[in-house]
Amino acid sequence: MHQSYRIAIAYFTVFGALLLISGAFLFVSKLGISYESVQMFYLGNKAQFTQPKSAYGLLETALPHLGGMGLFIFVTGHFLLFTTKKQKQRAIKPVVILFIAALLDIGSGFLIVQGLTFFIWIKLLSFLLLQLLGLYLLWLLFSTVWQGIYAYKS
């Protein structure tokens, strides 16, 4: 792989990690990480004068997330094609699970609003999986690319 590609992919991994970390910060600050806080976010709370989310409002958020998350996972998975055979094999299942986790993370809000409160747990679990697997794949990618950059300098 050409050195300029390695450098560009290394920067992509740094920006991807910053994207995941800032997304986690926003999720925790807006929804919280407890069952009750996620329930209150989606279903509202009369005592605190918060309204339940509407399907239209969720759709406005879901559409850009579908594109952005799908593209991020696809590009990360695509860049993993440039890694070693061993790391490609390590990445196959996490990439598939990451797509599923992203869909569950985005779609669970719609089901929570419809009264299927079990999906609050799915929302929390899929968000956690999304973050951890995303960072794991970025680490796999970064470590391989960094080794190539370092070997080129030597």
Average the pLDDT over 13-24 and give the result.
Answer: 96
- pTM of the predicted model as reported, rounded to 2 decimal places: 0.87
DSSP 13-24: HHHHHHHHHHHH
Average the pLDDT over 66-79 and give the result.
Answer: 93
Average the pLDDT over 38-44 and give the result.
Answer: 94
pLDDT at 84: 78
Whether the predicted pLDDT of 154 surpasses 60? no
pLDDT at 149: 63
Whether the predicted pLDDT of 102 surpasses 80? yes
Predicted confidence (pLDDT) per residue in 133-153, tens digit: 999 999 999 988 877 666 666
DSSP 24-64: HHHHHHHT-SSHHHHHHHHH-BTTTTBPPPPHHHHHHHHHH
Residues whose CB is less than 8 angstroms from the CB of residue 67 and which lie 6 or more positions away in sequence, other chains included? none
Average the pLDDT over 57-62 and give the result.
Answer: 94
